Amino acid sequence: MKGKRMLKMFSNMVTGLLFILLLVTLFAVISMKASGGEVSLFGYQMKTVLSGSMEPEMKTGSIIAIKDTDAKQEFQKGDVITFKTEDDVFVTHRIEQVKDNGKQYITKGDANNAADSEPVVPEDIVGTYTGLTIPYIGYVMNFASSKEGAALMLIIAGVCLLLFSILMIWRALRQLDKLKGGMRADVE
């Protein structure tokens, strides 16, 4: 009796986790598509590290969390910021020098030999690095933001939920058969 209760509790937990996984996957795919591939939640954005310019702190293929900022925020030498370049590329580098009382910032990747060629203006800064780095997840995020990746993630989550549902229905039908078989034995 105790084993059945534990099995039922485990079954309910797995069902709940699969359902939550499906919802999170759906939310992530929709938000990535709506925001052009980057997830933003509660004032934080997740960015994929595409180069080794900030190694060893941020390895290629990692994702980092950045906190949204506004153009009025002032930054100091040593702050790590994410900014948008003229080519609409997001770059995360460390501030090497503050110029014109915070109207321009000279940035440099930790692993780069020289500072970036163009100064950064406050309007181009989208966030500051929070210190959170998760290795290798960036590869998955990049794949998930593609059409094929988004479809595959949704299909995998859906198939897992469907298979688990089939298993639960099969178990319930087996239990019903046992109950019917037990009732027939009592009647005879």
Residues with Cβ within 8 Å of 123's Cβ and at least 6 positions away in sequence, in order, are: 71
Question: Residues 162-187: pLDDT tens digits?
Answer: 887 888 888 888 888 887 766 555 55
Nearest alpha-carbon partner for 11 in 172, 184, 130, 140:
172
Cβ pair 81, 95 in contact under 8 A: yes
pLDDT of residue 105: 92
Tell me the two tokens of residue 137.
């997840």
pLDDT in tens, 72-129: 788 889 999 999 988 888 899 999 999 988 788 999 999 999 999 899 988 899 889 9
| Topology, domain 38-137 | Umud Fragment, subunit A (2.10.109)
Locate the domains of the chain by residue range.
Answer: 1-34+146-182, 38-137
Catalytic (active site) residue 51: yes
Q: Are 64 and 133 in contact (CB under 8 A)?
A: yes
The pLDDT of residue 153 is 76
pLDDT at residue 57 is higher than 80 = yes
Which listed residue (35, 51, 146, 165) is catalytic?
A: 51
User: Quick one: pLDDT at residue 19?
Assistant: 73
pLDDT band at 55 (very low <50, low <70, confident <90, very high): confident
pLDDT digit string, tens, across residues 6-35: 777 887 787 777 777 767 766 766 666 665
Q: Please, what is the average pLDDT of the chain?
A: 81
